[in-house]
Amino acid sequence: MKNLFLTKSPIQKITFKGFEFYIKRDDLLGQINGNKARKLAFYLHQNYPKNQRFISFGGLQSNALEALSIFTKLKGYKLIYFCEKIPQFLKQNPCGNYALALNNGVVFKENLQAKNLKEFALSFCKENDVFIEQGVANLNAEFGLKELAKELEIQSKKLQIDFDIFLPSGTGTSAAFLAKNSNFDIYTCACVGDSEYLKKQILNILPNFDFKNLHILNSVKKYYFAKPYLEFYELYKQIKIECNIEFDLLYDMLGLNIALNHNFSKPLLYIHQGGINGNASMFERYKRLF
Ligand SMILES: *Cc1c(COP(=O)(O)O)cnc(C)c1O
């Protein structure tokens, strides 16, 4: 039977500093791209009524906010987003994903009473609202990551290459569901918190997850999430010039740093999970520092 399954993004071979590896270009998936597109695929397939309310919460510059705001705008839904107190400066000078979300009609609710942000958001939820966990870290994310796993299998067969696959983690949702639905060895690193925290987050979503083909790699140096580092900025520039691909400053710089220094037994496939629009607000901080 002919294979009618269409791959949504290409795999590209690149050479960086003499090292050859492959990139799965999920950053090219479209307006909603990267792993947020994969995690939201389930919701894109549902038929909610016009003006359906979505409730979520998290950071003001998060890529999940960006993706959710585009999704709800495109579909004519409403997004109410719960966040910590918005800094006065940002309110007066919106930038990055926060500005984009405002343009897409997102309603922000600030947590002014120092309550638990998730509980605060949940307390607003009415019966027909759709609640989405911070970073779309929920079971519905599996739908799109199953599709990604299938694509990788097809592309690997076509190229006749058996890959080791690397993708950096925040909540670990993408890496865990990819590993669960695939026979590849999946490698990741913890960008937010340490490896133990990443494991905990994964077990929160999937209590029986066995980690048999998901390997968490550590970096020698300790990096704090969303903090600017000169070596990240250098790597960002070098790979952009040499390979003509822009990567995300928050996750990919740590991810690439670790992946490019690890000895994989098979050819490396690195998944580009999007997030480029989020770079704008990080650039401001890099500019001020360096
Ligand atoms: C959200 C995001 C991640 C983290 O994804 P998880 O599924 O939470 O691990 C990694 N990279 C980029 C570019 C992202 O936007």
Question: Averaged over 197-221, what is the pLDDT?
Answer: 97
Dist. CA 189–CA 187, nearest whole Å: 7
Cα 248 to ligand 1 centroid, rounded to whole Å = 10
Mean pLDDT computed over every residue of the chain: 96
39-136 and 11-30+139-289 share a CATH fold: yes
The answer to whether the CB of 279 is under 6 A from ligand 1 is no
Dist. CA 91–CA 100, nearest whole Å: 13
Catalytic residue among 9, 56, 62, 182: 62
From 251, 272, 277, give the residue whose CB has the most ligand 1 atoms within 8 Å, as the site to mutate.
Answer: 251
Residue 156 among the catalytic residues: no
**Which atom of ligand 1 is closest in space to residue 135's alpha carbon?**
8
Does residue 4 carry a pLDDT above 80?
no
Cα 183–188–193 angle (5° rounding)?
Answer: 145
The DSSP secondary structure of the chain, one letter per residue, reads: ----PPPSS-EEEEEETTEEEEEEEGGGS-SS-HHHHHHHHHHHTS-PPTT-EEEEE--TT-HHHHHHHHHHHHHT-EEEEEEEPPPHHHHHS--HHHHHHHHTTPEEEEETT---HHHHHHTT--TTPEEE-GGG-SGGGHHHHHHHHHHHHHHHHHHT---EEE--BSSSHHHHHHHHT-SSEEEE-BSSS-HHHHHHHHHHH-TT---SSEEE---SS---TT---HHHHHHHHHHHHHH-----TTTHHHHHHHHTTS--SS-EEEEE---GGGHHHHHHHHHHH-
What class, spelled out in words, does domain 11-30+139-289 have in CATH?
Answer: alpha beta
Question: Averaged over 38-62, what is the pLDDT?
Answer: 97
Return the pLDDT at 54: 98
R_g over Cα of the chain? 19
Q: Within a 10 A sphere around the Cβ of 237, how many other Cβ atoms?
A: 10
pTM: 0.96
Nearest to 50 by CA among 74, 26, 80, 67: 74
Q: What is the pLDDT of residues 214-223, one digit of tens each?
A: 999 999 999 9
The answer to whether the CB of 277 is under 6 A from ligand 1 is no
The answer to whether the CB of 168 is under 6 A from ligand 1 is yes
Encoded amino acid at 282, one letter: M
**Which atom of ligand 1 is closest in space to residue 171's alpha carbon?**
8
280: confidence class by pLDDT, cuts 50, 70, 90: confident
Cα 191 to ligand 1 centroid, rounded to whole Å = 9
Return the pLDDT at 2: 47
Q: What is the pLDDT of residues 72-122, one digit of tens each?
A: 999 999 999 999 999 999 999 999 999 999 999 999 999 998 889 999 999
Return the pLDDT at 29: 96
Show the tokens assigned to 110: 């600030």
Return the pLDDT at 115: 86
Distance of CA 245 to the CA centre of its chain: 17
The answer to whether the CB of 63 is under 6 A from ligand 1 is yes
Dist. CA 53–CA 70, nearest whole Å: 14
**Which atom of ligand 1 is closest in space to residue 168's alpha carbon?**
10
Q: What is the pLDDT of residues 134-186, one digit of tens each?
A: 999 999 999 999 999 999 999 999 999 999 999 999 999 999 999 999 999 99
Residue 78 and residue 39 in contact, taking contact as beta carbons nearer than 8 Å: no
Residue 110 and residue 86 in contact, taking contact as beta carbons nearer than 8 Å: yes
Cα 50 to ligand 1 centroid, rounded to whole Å = 29
Does residue 127 carry a pLDDT above 90?
yes
From 174, 177, 188, give the residue whose CB has the most ligand 1 atoms within 8 Å, as the site to mutate.
Answer: 174
Cα 140 to ligand 1 centroid, rounded to whole Å = 16
Question: Averaged over 19-39, what is the pLDDT?
Answer: 97
Return the pLDDT at 5: 63
The answer to whether the CB of 169 is under 6 A from ligand 1 is yes
Query: So where are the chain's domains?
Result: 11-30+139-289, 39-136
Show the tokens assigned to 68: 């959710």
Nearest to 269 by CA among 148, 141, 170: 148
CATH of domain 39-136: 3.40.50.1100
Cα 170 to ligand 1 centroid, rounded to whole Å = 5
